[in-house]
Structure 1
Amino acid sequence: MLSFNTLGYIGGISYVLYLVHWPLIAIFVPYSPQTYIFLTVTTLLSSIILHHIFEQKYLKMDWKTLVPFLFVLIMGNVFLQSSVRGHSTFWNMTYTDDVKNIMISNKAQIEWSWRTEEKRDECVEEPIGEEIDKLSVFGYGSCVRGNGSLSIMLIGNSYVLSFRNPLREQFGLNYSTFRYSSISQGYGTYADNAASRLSLEIAKRQVARYKPDVLFIFARYSPSIRDPIRENDDYIRQMNENIKFYEKFVKKIYILGSHPLYKTNFLSIFLQNVQHRRDDIESLHMNRREADKMMINVKKRFKMIKCSKCQFFDVTNLFVEDNKYLMFDRDQMLSYVDNTLHLTHSGLKVTEPELKRVAKEVMDSVKLI
């Protein structure tokens, strides 16, 4: 067992340990057992050295010596941070052409897909006409008019913009109008706080105003809807009430099913593994059983919705392989998910068969109504 003296000494250098460990991790990223050992030893030794030659003397300095000394330390930290973050070639690592190409292709997917899609100029932003913070509106407006008689509208959160053009392309121009309303915390069928209640009310007003033939609800759902289902469950009640409201104005409602819980900053994690852990990259694919278990209450709630005009559609099945949800294209080494829980261009490409099926079903069924 450790003696009190040893524990006391570790406590004495603990603050320096705290200050030292993160810069070392940022510079020497721990992607192998060797680097873990190196970082542990280096952090401990540097903390001991700094504790004796700096921290103990630092505590005894008067303010006339301390002020310029702190200024030098701050400027040194600024220089080090600037150097490490890419403004110097000293820390740069050398990669093979293959890895470089993978990094370039994936970095092109870092930005939200709708900001770099080819036909984004065909959709025009409009004033939303609602009392809402502009930062809460991801996008609101309409796309180029079509040649058909079918009016379409998309409501929800940022997922609306992700799927807007991929879905629209499946219709060709076989629609009359194509509108979208993408608002922060817009879940389409329920609300769990003040912001989502405002988003829901705005969505309902937009549907009542434009009365689209087909309403699509695209949303990444909030964590609260994964909670256990209670007796007289409030979310189920809300869903049924809001769906009933939409049914008064539309002919068909298509609702995107739940997505697995992707990791935040997944694209960066993927690139780090491409660079340093290529042999372990398959571990990034998601365990399907565990992912589905986390969403089981979401799916149960959806099954309890009473709606004669509703259809749920699921794009996640297109990512399934055995007991996994695939997170990247193995052939092209392109991530399916960005850093903000949205599908990348590559991920959206995978969903095209389901979007095509839904679009065809919509065009066929609405003609019969």
Structure 2
Amino acid sequence: MRMIQEYISTLEFRYNWSFHCKFKMSVKKQLNLQGIRGIAILAVLGFHFFPNYFPNGYLGVDQFFVLSGFLMCMLLTKTEKLPKFEMISNFYIRRFKRILPLYQLIIFVSLIALYLIFPDTTIEININSAKRAIIFISNQLKTLEDDYFEKLNMAIDIFTHTWSLSVEIQFYLIVPFLFLLPFRIISLTIISIISLFYFYILPSDIAFLNVFARIWQFLIGMIAFIIHQNISTEYQLEKRQSLSVYVNESEQLKCSTNYAIFIRMMIIQMILVVSFPITIRAVISRPLITVMTGIILIFSKRDDIILSNKILAYIGDISYSLYLIHWPISSYCKITGMSNYAILFLFLAVVVSMLIYESFEKWYTKESNIVILILTISLFFMNLGILNNQLFIENNSEGSVTNISELAGSATQEDIARLNHQWELDDQKNLKFQFDNIFGWFPYTGLNQNNTLRIFSFGNSWTVNHAKVMYSECGPRVKEFMRGAISGCEPLYKFPTEYRKCPEFLIEVQQHLGVFKPDYAFHITRSINIGNNYTDDFENDPVYQSILNETRYLVKNIKKKLFILNSIPSIDREALDHLSENLMNNVPKEEIDKKLYMGYDQHVAASKRYTQLVKDCGSKCELIDYYDLFHPNGIKTYRYYDDNGLSYLTGGTHLTPWGYEFVKPFWRDFCNKNLV
């Protein structure tokens, strides 16, 4: 170790300054540490509220990991002379005292907000997510719908961001034992290299959340503290023993100036990386920002002009509250269609975080361990109570109509409103059929193997939503049924998208079609972007030409025909909530119809493109259209409910159980006529 220190101390840098330049590096770096926190949380906020402008802002979490490793090593160093058990227990008490109370409080407040102000269709997925969040296993990726970046784009899961706290808590379980390893800096370096290698060989979505693929970032922080401490200790020792080389005032000033320039350039470069408006590949940006943060932690001084800025340091002070609070607020902003007001929601997140920091956070951090323990346990069991209390989920009174089989009786508008509401709550649950996972590739079982036809369905959640009715009505005629789906994508159109897996899914569709070679394929996709930037000049329409080229490629592996389900307008969730109320108030149905759907112009444009697509595709393509089904008796508006007010669609534009019954005859006739 002495040899390593001597080697480091001889290094000369570009600006002709060296470690022999004597300046005091205080171990108490409160302001500069808070400044780094401030930069990190600002990067995360930019990524979550304005992802198009700050696509690399997620690297702020990587900075948090490095800083956390630095602080953990600092805490353990302060108590390393204590008996080992006392040292470890003291570490856990201090860290859990800091993290748990506020964490459990924010989960509690978020759950209350979930039931009071969030759309009903978000409840089920968030209940499942919160159950993992309260025990710090949010980073366990199980299915495609658990993917972190997919959840960010959908903004459905208000607990998505707790994955990083889960990673940190899981690292806490091993960090004291890593700290106790012999030849500390060498041991930590070797483990870091192994962890970094693990990060690169794992699939990106798994590596992103895996604690073992993240250990290297925490260890960079720990190594940074050890180097920082050794440099500071070496200087103090030389100063006391009068062994330092004499440096005149002009040389010392020059040395100090060069040092300050180097550190400030490093800080500015770090800020530029996390705020760069063009996406940098994670395999490059993540190691870069990790090492840069480590270097800044080693050499930045407490009074650094950038990091010790009072505003930046205060943002660092509230960073924990702000991190926990900001995503539920951002999620509400996106899911309610108010992204244009993102700056106002960001301001709200900052204000709420300041209030929590100045009141609750400052209060509990000064309380005794027993008070913290009681507070944390109380909040934990309150969260468990909400998560397991069906009264929050089911608001049905005894004797009320709660399912379709009871509709033959005299159902009231209150009963119908209650049932529509329940279908909203069960939207995600009702998407599942034969498999627990919603998205991905699945071969349905239980079909008659004496048949010969093979069918293939692909698209987004609209495909998943139709799987049950297709199985019921087309299944008796087929031998094999393969279904593939992903959230938020339109497989025929490679549009510029934040949904990073859409291009990958398109390749998967091509591959599965090539292997499965179905007799019939079904493109069942809720329109998202195909209706954008419409023009009647199809020859020069880049959107249309993209879907035409993709269709021509796909039909090569379809033996008989590709069926394309035409677009319908998406439903307005808020208007759906008032459906029964409007019917009871005798609002004209045509007026209710128009309120119920949104994006009508985009729907019309998508429909025109699909119609032209079928013409240009030729005999191998055919359009399936719900137009007549949702325009009963020649009415001029789409009608998404029956005469009693029972909705055919949920707020997520998915078929309700009543909607399944409504479209069954349509699919029965279609399959009997076309699947031959």
SS for the counterpart of 2:477 is coil
Query: How far did residue 145 of structure 1 move?
Result: 2.6
Counterpart of 1:115 in structure 2 is 429
Query: How far did residue 111 of structure 1 move?
Result: 4.3
CA–CA separation in structure 1 for the residues paired with 2:460 and 2:565: 12
TM-score by length of 1: 0.62
CA–CA separation in structure 2 for the residues paired with 1:139 and 1:163: 15
Cα 1:264–1:237 change in 2 (3 A) is same
CA–CA separation in structure 1 for the residues paired with 2:441 and 2:574: 23
Alignment match of 2:653 (pick from 335, 338, 341)? 341
Alignment match of 1:328 (pick from 612, 632, 641)? 641
Cα 1:136–1:238 change in 2 (3 A) is farther
2:541 pairs with 1:233: yes
Query: How far did residue 296 of structure 1 move?
Result: 2.6
Q: Deviations over 1:162-211 (max 9, x none)?
A: 11121221124221101100112332311213432222121111111111
Q: Is the Cα–Cα contact under 8 Å of residues 138 and 158 in structure 1 kept in the other structure?
A: no
Alignment match of 1:317 (pick from 628, 634, 637)? 628
Q: Is the Cα–Cα contact under 8 Å of residues 114 and 120 in structure 1 kept in the other structure?
A: no
Q: Deviations over 1:105-143 (max 9, x none)?
A: 2233124557348x933xx47xxxxxxxxx993663423
CA–CA separation in structure 2 for the residues paired with 1:176 and 1:266: 42
Counterpart of 1:174 in structure 2 is 477
Q: Deviations over 1:222-269 (max 9, x none)?
A: 1353322266222222222211122211121101000113213554x1
Q: Which amino acid aligns with 1:325?
A: Y
Q: Which amino acid aligns with 2:584?
A: R
Whichever structure has more helix as a proportion of its residues is: 2
2:442 pairs with 1:140: yes
CA–CA separation in structure 2 for the residues paired with 1:101 and 1:289: 23
2:523 pairs with 1:212: no
SS for the counterpart of 1:169 is helix
Cα 1:195–1:288 change in 2 (3 A) is same
Counterpart of 1:247 in structure 2 is 555
CA–CA separation in structure 1 for the residues paired with 2:595 and 2:636: 6
Q: Which amino acid aligns with 1:342?
A: H
Number of equivalences: 276
Counterpart of 2:468 in structure 1 is 165
Q: Is the Cα–Cα contact under 8 Å of residues 156 and 186 in structure 1 kept in the other structure?
A: yes
Counterpart of 1:352 in structure 2 is 664
Q: Which amino acid aligns with 1:285?
A: D
Cα 1:113–1:228 change in 2 (3 A) is same
Whichever structure has more strand as a proportion of its residues is: 1
Q: Which amino acid aligns with 2:548?
A: N
2:491 pairs with 1:188: yes
Q: Is the Cα–Cα contact under 8 Å of residues 288 and 323 in structure 1 kept in the other structure?
A: no
SS for the counterpart of 2:481 is strand
Cα 1:144–1:238 change in 2 (3 A) is farther
Q: Is the Cα–Cα contact under 8 Å of residues 144 and 178 in structure 1 kept in the other structure?
A: no
Query: How far did residue 325 of structure 1 move?
Result: 1.3
2:617 pairs with 1:307: yes
Structure showing greater Rg: 2
SS for the counterpart of 1:109 is helix
Counterpart of 1:222 in structure 2 is 528
After superposing the two structures, state which structure 1 stretch, 99-108 or 350-359, moved more: 99-108
Cα 1:106–1:151 change in 2 (3 A) is same
Query: How far did residue 155 of structure 1 move?
Result: 0.4
CA–CA separation in structure 1 for the residues paired with 2:624 and 2:582: 38
CA–CA separation in structure 2 for the residues paired with 1:165 and 1:136: 12
Q: Which amino acid aligns with 1:110?
A: E
Cα 1:113–1:358 change in 2 (3 A) is farther
Q: Where does 1:70-109 land on structure 2 (aligned, <5 Å)?
A: 98-109=412-423
Please, which runs of 5 or more residues in structure 1 have no aligned partner? 1-22, 28-61, 69-77, 126-134, 365-369
Cα 1:287–1:202 change in 2 (3 A) is same
CA–CA separation in structure 2 for the residues paired with 1:114 and 1:173: 26
Q: Is the Cα–Cα contact under 8 Å of residues 288 and 324 in structure 1 kept in the other structure?
A: no
